[in-house]
Amino acid sequence: MQDLKERTFAFAAKVGKLVQELPFSTINKAYTSQLIRCSSSVGANYRAARRAKSDADFIHKLKIVEEEADESVYFLELLLFFNPVYRNQIDELIDEGSSLLKIFVASVKTVRSKIKKLPG
pLDDT tens string 45-88 = 999 999 999 999 999 999 999 999 999 999 999 999 999 999 99
Domain boundaries, the chain: 4-117
- Quick one: 4-117 is in which CATH superfamily? 23S rRNA-intervening sequence (1.20.1440.60)
pLDDT of residue 60: 96
pLDDT of residue 112: 87
Q: Across residues 94-120, what is the average pLDDT? A: 88
* Spatial CB neighbours of 75, under 8 Å, sequence gap ≥ 6: 31, 32, 34, 35, 38
Nearest 5°: the CA angle 120, 46, 89 is: 140
pLDDT band (50, 70, 90) for residue 117: confident
Contact 30, 63 (CB under 8 A): no
